[in-house]
Structure 1
Amino acid sequence: MNLRGKRILVTGAAGGIGRLVCLRLAGQGAELLLADRPGDALDTLLGELGGQAVALPTNLLEDGAGERLAADAQATGQIDVVINLAGIMSFRLFQNESADNLQRMWQVNVIAPMQLTRALLPAMVARGSGRIVNIGSIFGSIAFACFTTYSANKFAVRGFSEALRRELEGSGVDVTYIAPRYTKTPINAGAAARMSEALKMNMDEPDVVAANILRAIEKDAKDYYIGFPECLFVRINAILPRLVDGVMRKQNAQIREFARNE
């Protein structure tokens, strides 16, 4: 896909990865709609992008946020691409996960992007062009201990992407699913960061992930996994999950120790 002149809606636009994605998209000549919570981060990004962007302050935790965001975006003109990037993470023993946090995570990570996509699709299908870009995670293919809710969310995003791609085949509307591995952003701060450093997990800088997101979109990729050997482990886990259980057993015990105090 040639990004020049494309009108692209990005959720989580002012976040650690989102900001860098937006700056790279603008560098390719895209026109951007920036969806994120109102605040200094969104205002700063809007200033950086100047005339190439319009801010759409939104809170995806609110009921019906996806539909409202779609209406606000379409009121500005045709939407060529939506990048569902906003997300929240949880690192703790599942028995300690609060009911409120379960609801929050499903709302932001799964329900809101599905609502937004559903509301944008009729116009894309009618004109026979458009792209849905869903940012998942390696955790959406390999479920990690103490990231139970997050892994479940990302498995759902991956399933949504696969089913929707098959449903839209021949319509002119494409679906790209992108799965980063662990990334050094504020979403992974605290105990999760200490755990990943202690276990020497492979980590990517946000700009590496942003560059790969653009590469996947420009290549019209259907599925794009970031990082080796994680992309290999995804394939192994799909075929031999019980083998992966054994390989991860020692690591899981260490992960639980870091999560107990969260």
Structure 2
Amino acid sequence: MLLEGRSVAITGAGSGIGRALAIEFARRGAIPILIGRNAEKLAETASLLPAALPAKTCVADITSAHGREAIVQICTARGQLDILVNNAGLVPSGLLSNLTDSELQNAVMTNVVAPIALTRDLLRVLRRSDRPRIVNIGSIFGDIGHPHFAAYCATKFALRGFSDAIRRELAADRIGVTYAAPRATRTGAADGFQALIAPYGMSLDRPEAVAHQIVSAVEREAATVYAAGAERLFVAIQRLLPRLVDIALISKARKLRTGPVSR
């Protein structure tokens, strides 16, 4: 797919991977529609794009019907939408027993219900494109159930399943679907699980590197794109020999059980 002149709506575009995706899409000639809840952060992202590019911003909460309607209206006003990137998400971490109802509800609403609902609401606009595509930003933790990230894993497993289902359901409409599974990334969200990075031996990628890999996959019209490195091997082991992953992660989780990162 040639991205030059393509319209791409990106949720969570005010920071992190969303901002990096906006910059990378714009670098390849696409025209971003920046979506997020914080007007100042969206303006910061917009300021990093080429001045001549007719990018738009949309301040909206994707977890509300009103917010999604605002997104539909701005996308409709552009005439068509070529690519929808469901990127916005929360990363709850810590022992499940310590997570509140509010944290669980917010994670499920933001990471699962909102992207499903927004995809549904924008199908009519996407169908106007000659090569429409939906891009769902998941996680390696959508394949590997990881201790201290139970709620987050549950939402990303759900998003992966959703991606597979709509890829098959929408094939007759010529709407492609790309599921992206990056590993931990150096964004503000990582601050919430900083104490878990070293004990679990996590490697964090730069948002720019993640965005480059994802946008390249969109150009290739790939069905999936996974982070390179050891994590990709772990996904294969998880599918073929899950007991080995159990042994490795249970051992690390036990060491952390009574430590300061149990929260």
For the aligned pair, the TM-score class normalised by the smaller chain equals over 0.9
One-letter identity of the residue aligned with 2:190: N
Look up the equivalent residue of 1:6 and give its one-letter code. Answer: R
Partners of 1:131 and 1:176 within 8 A in 2: yes
Matched, 1:101 2:100: no
Report the number of matched residues. Answer: 260
Matched position secondary structure for 1:201: coil
Q: CA deviation at 1:172?
A: 1.3
Per the alignment, in what secondary structure is the counterpart of residue 225 of structure 2? strand
- How far apart in 2 are the matches of 1:245 and 1:186? 29
Identity of aligned residues (%): 37
- Matched residues in 2 for 1:142 and 1:258: separation? 24
Change (3 A) 1:238 1:203: same
Match of residue 219 from structure 2: 218
Check the 8 A contact 1:146/1:259 in 2, yes or no. no
What aligned pairs does 1:62-101 form with structure 2 within 5 A after superposition?
62-63=64-65, 65-101=67-103
| Alpha-carbon distance between aligned partners in 1 of 2:202 and 2:170, rounded to the nearest angstrom | 37
| Segment of structure 1 superposing worse, 72-81 or 86-95 | 72-81
Seen in structure 2, the aligned counterparts of structure 1 residues 205 and 47 have a Cα distance that, compared at 3 Å, is closer
Corresponding letter in the other structure for 2:237? I
1:80-128 Cα distance to aligned partner (Å, 9 max, x none)? 0001111111111111111111111111111111111111113434666
Matching of residue 21 in structure 1 with residue 21 in structure 2: yes
User: Which whole-Å CA distance do the structure 1 matches of 2:256 and 2:61 have between them?
Assistant: 32
Residue 200 of structure 1: SS of its match in structure 2? coil
1:164 counterpart residue number: 166
Among 117, 136, 139, the alignment partner of 1:137 is: 139
SS at match of 1:9: strand
The DSSP-based 3-state class of the residue aligned with 1:189 is helix
Aligned residue number for residue 54 of structure 1 = 56
Q: Is the 8 A contact 1:66 1:113 kept in 2?
A: no
Q: Which amino acid aligns with 1:44?
A: E
**Counterpart selection for 1:152 from 146, 151, 154:** 154
The correspondence for 1:119, drawn from 107, 121, 126, is 121
- How many Å separate the matches in 1 of 2:5 and 2:130? 17
Residue 244 of structure 1 corresponds to 245
In structure 2, C-alpha distance between the alignment counterparts of 1:223 and 1:184, rounded to whole Å: 22
1:145 and 1:200 mapped to 2: Cα distance? 13
Deviation at 1:220, TM superposition (A): 0.9
Contact 2:76 2:125 in 1 (8 A): no
How far apart, CA to CA, are the structure 1 residues paired with 2:211 and 2:247?
Answer: 33
CA distance in 2, matches of 1:170, 1:258: 52
Q: Structure 1, unaligned stretches of length 5 or more?
A: none
TM-score, length basis structure 1:
0.93
* Amino acid paired to 1:122: R
Cα deviation for residue 67 of structure 1 reads 4.1
Q: What is the CA-CA distance between 1:258 and the residue it aligns to?
A: 4.6
Using a 3 Å threshold, how does the CA distance of structure 1 residues 17 and 255 change in structure 2: closer, same or farther? farther
TM-superposed deviation, 1:194: 2.4
RMSD over aligned CA atoms reads 1.8
Match of 2:12 in 1: 12
The Cα offsets for residues 202-237 of structure 1, whole Å up to 9 and x where unpaired, read as: 221111111111111111110111122111211221
Encode CA deviations 1:36-93: one digit per residue, 9 max, x unaligned.
1133211122223234210001122435533442233222320000011111111111
